[in-house]
Amino acid sequence: MTPLFHRFFTGLRAAKIPVSTREYLTLLEALEKGAIDQDLDSFYAVSRAALVKDERNFDKFDKVFAHFFEGIEALGAMFKADEIPDDWLRAEMRRHLTEEEMAALKEMDFDQLMKTLQERLQEQQKRHEGGSKWIGTGGTSPYGHSGWSPNGVRIGGESKNKKANKVWETRRFKDYDNERELGTRNLKMALRRLRRFARDGAEEELDLDDTINATANRGYLDIRMRPEKRNAIKVLVFFDVGGSMDPYIELTERLFSAASSVFKNLEYFYFHNCPYQAVWKSNKRRQSETTSLMDVLHTYPADYKVVFVGDAAMAPTEITHPGGSVEGWNEEAGGVWLRRIAETYPNLIWLNPTPENWWPHTYSVQLIREIVGPERMFPLTLSGVDRAMKELAKK
Amino acid sequence: MRFEGTKDYVATDELAAAVNAAIILERPLLVKGEPGTGKTELAKQVAEALGAPLLEWHIKSTTKARQGLYEYDAVARLRDSQLGDDKVHDVSNYIKKGKLWEAFTHEQRPVLLIDEIDKADIEFPNDLLQELDKMEFHVYETGQTIKAEVRPIVIITSNNEKELPDAFLRRCFFHFIAFPDEETMEQIVKVHYPDLKSRLLSEALQTFFDLRTVPGLKKKPSTSELLDWLKLLMAEDIDPAVLRERDPRKLIPPMHGALLKNEQDVQLFERLAFMSRREGS
């Protein structure tokens, strides 16, 4: 097969799309068996179906595809005309030419065809002065017979009888990309990383199917037991509410709704900016019904995994000084309390809804990271939650 | 055998290309997408378009991979042995064929739908790897090997409740049914309700897509909900003008229950209607 496809495959791998050799061979098989029509749209659809198995990677795929099959300058130089099947180019011609022109072209051989295509494209370049829509920057490269290089031409570019944009140009799958903010569904997927159904502990459950089978096989009653299946993970979540967190409430709510359906043992508490001596369970009654943080530390054993959700944006004194709290008087500084939590629970992470590149600019974020450990704060994006869950899952 | 969509089902070019590639290369096609985008329906329509029989295997949280191959009813055999039934001497009397067995031995190339594979245990897809790859399996009780003469067209749907194992994914073609854009949606509606008045349709579609863009909606209405809603609008013979209602007391469009399935969303809808009313005035 042509090196072009091979480079496409390598390009996908370079873009961190997990494509295996097996899938690549499937694509080549599809080409060979004629499962792909001779146009770029069909190639796009089938290659995506064969190579990409997760819609979160569709956007990356679209970008790589555009790179390879549309001759963007940087990679365009790799193209050689003879690597692109004639039929595709003919199909491309059909889009750029009128019916009469096509009829006249029928008799032409491939070289002539290409020449006409060049001319057509040059005309279009004139009409679209300065625009890179039709012809890329490489478009001025020699147009001779063997020197004609498709990198100048945007193969699969705009056409007259179809929508202005190619499907892979519209970037429809942006929303599914990993770095995007989270939908509840995505969150659940990420949180599930942490869910481990462990069959451990004593045998305590009657395995009915196995008992019936064993009894039937032996002809006498043969009781079989199995360890109980249970969700081994216990989670304690602290949500920051109010103030600077307001814009992120919806996001936090989503995280919460996803978290509560994934974990069986989930306890949650609210705090404001930084945890102090008291946290609360109901935001409406935050003044009247609080729980002492000391009680929390004593109630939940150290094998609970702790998740903080908050933007960690506050006045530094709220962390460093007694009485710094905006909620009420605190005898001990927020940092002391936070350290206490971090020391009690070895598995702890902090999810921050603000973008990661803002963090260095907020002093309080630095302070918090120093206390909980700089590697344990993660952005509230899908890949962030994913990384966070990996960190939490560590023993 | 080529699939292009049917008169009852609008398939995008991409979907058709993926289906055809799966048919030609005889590999399973995994279909994901928002609920209500026609994943399950796809298998039915492919079967209809190709004139192939359809076998449906609906997966539940308790479904085991084994059940797709066959089940050995040891209990029945034990009972029969106590009753002195002659059947008991032949073990094959107690083997119950599963959907994969049926599909492998069907005389005509069938379409096999494995619906909502993500509902099952996380190991479920792994347990079917070899069977779907080689399209054969061994029956230990009788020593038979069941092998597909003609590989069935396998369509698998998933709602993304669990991540599927990589080894399984590598063996499938994959298509994600994106939520239809307005143009495609119009086609879909026309397929279902050819007599729908175009004014009602465009008003309704606008309300529908507006509604889907409302941020924070707990559950966005899907295609199937739109179709239900239109059906109600038609049955009640609603005047399109009502959808552009300006009277503050009638802000909520008629029959909104078909579109919005929870109370908070209804409140959001009220807000939207209020805003569009202000836009109009």
Prediction ipTM score: 0.77
Contacts of B81 in chain A (CB under 8 A): 219
High-pLDDT (> 70) share of chain B, %:
91
Q: Which of A22, A49, A58 sits opposite B173 (nearest CB)?
A: A49
- A393 contacts chain B (CB < 8 A): no
Rounded to 5°, the CA angle A207-A212-A217 comes to 130
Q: What is the pLDDT of residue B100?
A: 92
Q: Count interface pairs A-B at CB distance under 8 A.
A: 87
Which of A171-175, A185-189, A259-263, B253-257 comes out lowest in average pLDDT?
Answer: A171-175
| N- to C-terminal Cα separation, chain B | 55
The band of A159, judged by pLDDT with boundaries at 50, 70 and 90, is very low
pLDDT of residue B54: 94
Give the C-alpha separation, B222 to B133, whole Å: 34
pLDDT at B245: 58
Residue A305: strand, helix, or coil: strand
A42 contacts chain B (CB < 8 A): yes
> Is A44 within 8 Å of B14 when comparing Cβ atoms?
yes
Two structure tokens written together for B72 = 């050995």
Residue A45 near residue B177, CB atoms below 8 Å: no
Percent of chain A surpassing pLDDT 90 = 3
pLDDT of residue A198: 47
Judge whether residue B166 has pLDDT over 50: yes
Give chain B's mean pLDDT. Answer: 83
CB within 8 Å: A42 and B13? yes
pLDDT the model gives residue A359: 87
State the Cα–Cα distance between residues B232 and B225, nearest whole angstrom: 11
What span, in angstroms and rounded, lies between the C-alpha atoms of B255 and A29? Answer: 51
Tokens describing residue A15? 């873009």
Whether residue A231 lies within 8 A of chain B, CB to CB, comes out as no
Q: Name the band, by pLDDT with cuts 50, 70 and 90, for residue B152.
A: very high
Element at A303 (helix H, strand E): none
Cα–Cα distance for residue pair A202/A359, rounded to 1 Å: 47
**A227, two tokens:** 């360890």
Round to whole Å and give the CA distance between B20 and A195: 37
User: Hey, is A307 helix, strand or coil?
Assistant: strand
Q: Which of A32, A41, A55 to probe the B interface (max B CBs under 10 A)? A: A55
pLDDT of residue B253: 67
Within an 8 Å CB–CB cutoff, is residue A124 touching chain B?
Answer: no
For residue B44, the model assigns a pLDDT of 92
Q: Do B17 and A33 touch (CB under 8 A)?
A: no
Identify the closest residue of chain B to A193 by CA–CA distance: B163
- A213 with B74: Cβ contact below 8 A: yes
CB contact under 8 A, B74 and A219: no
Distance from C-alpha of A383 to C-alpha of A369, rounded to nearest angstrom: 19
Averaged pLDDT, A192-199: 56
pLDDT > 90: percent of chain B:
23
Per-residue pLDDT at B110: 93
What is the token pair recorded at A170? 């519209």
Query: Which positions in chain B touch A30 (Cβ < 8 Å)?
Result: 21, 24-25
- For residues A109 and A227, which has the higher predicted lDDT (pLDDT)? A227
Exposure pattern of A191-222 as b/e (b: 16+ CB <10 Å)? Answer: bbbbbeeeeeeeeeeeeeeebebbbbeeeeee
Ramachandran category for residue A309: left, alpha or beta (phi over 0 → left; psi -120 to 50 → alpha): beta
Give the pLDDT mean for A253-268: 73
What is the mean predicted confidence (pLDDT) over B119-138?
86
pLDDT digits (tens, 9 = 90+) for A306-354: 989 888 888 888 888 888 777 777 888 888 999 999 988 988 999 888 8
Task: Categorize the per-residue pLDDT at B164 as very low, low, confident or very high, splitting at 50, 70 and 90.
Answer: confident
| pLDDT tops 70 at residue B126 | yes
Q: If we measure between CA atoms, which residue out of A365, A245, A372 comes closest to residue A312?
A: A365
Sign of CA dihedral B49, B52, B58, B64: negative
Report the pLDDT value the prediction gives residue A147, as an integer from 0 to 100. Answer: 29
Q: Do B170 and A53 touch (CB under 8 A)?
A: yes
Read off the pLDDT of each residue in A155-171 and give the average, rounded to a whole number. Answer: 43
Q: Of residues A147 and A316, which shows the higher confidence score?
A: A316
pLDDT in tens, A19-29: 888 888 888 88
CATH of domain A184-194+233-393: 3.40.50
Query: What confidence tens digit (pLDDT) does each residue in A7-45 have?
Result: 888 888 888 888 888 888 888 888 888 888 777 788 888
Which single residue is written with the structure tokens 């569009």? B276
What is the average pLDDT across A283-299? 79
Burial of residue B42 (CB within 10 Å: 0-12, 13-18, 19+) is buried
Is the dihedral angle over the CA atoms A201, A202, A206, A210 positive or is it negative? positive
Q: What percent of chain A has pLDDT over 70?
A: 60
Confidence category of residue A154, pLDDT binned at 50, 70, 90? very low
Beta bridge partners, B177, equal B33
Mutate to test the interface with A, among B157, B173, B222 (most CBs of A within 10 A): B173
> Which residues from B are below 8 Å from A34, CB to CB?
24
The strands making up B111-115's β-sheet, listed across from edge to edge, are B54-58, B111-115, B153-158, B29-33, B173-177
**Is B155 a residue whose pLDDT tops 50?**
yes
Q: How far apart are CA B58 and CA B66, in angstroms?
A: 14
Give the pLDDT score at A179. Answer: 47
| Predicted confidence (pLDDT) at residue A164 exceeds the cutoff of 70 | no
Å between B243 CA and nearest CA of chain A: 30
Domain ranges for chain A: 3-176, 184-194+233-393, 199-229
A214 touches chain B (CB under 8 A): no
Per DSSP, what are the bridge partners of residue A356?
none
Q: Are the beta carbons of B174 and A53 separated by less than 8 Å?
A: yes
Residue B246 has pLDDT above 60, yes or no: no
pLDDT, tens digit (0-9, with 9 covering 90-100), for B60-108 = 878 888 899 999 888 888 888 888 888 888 888 899 999 999 999 998 9
Give the three-state DSSP class for B146. Answer: strand
Considering A131-135, A386-390, B33-37, B54-58, the range whose residues carry the highest mean pLDDT is B54-58
Q: Is A277 in contact with A330 (CB distance < 8 Å)?
A: yes
Strand order in the sheet with A265-271: A290-292, A278-280, A265-271, A234-240, A305-309, A348-352, A377-379
Q: What is the pLDDT of residue A115?
A: 60
- Residues A256-269 have a mean pLDDT of 74
Question: Per-residue pLDDT averaged across B157-163, rounded?
Answer: 80
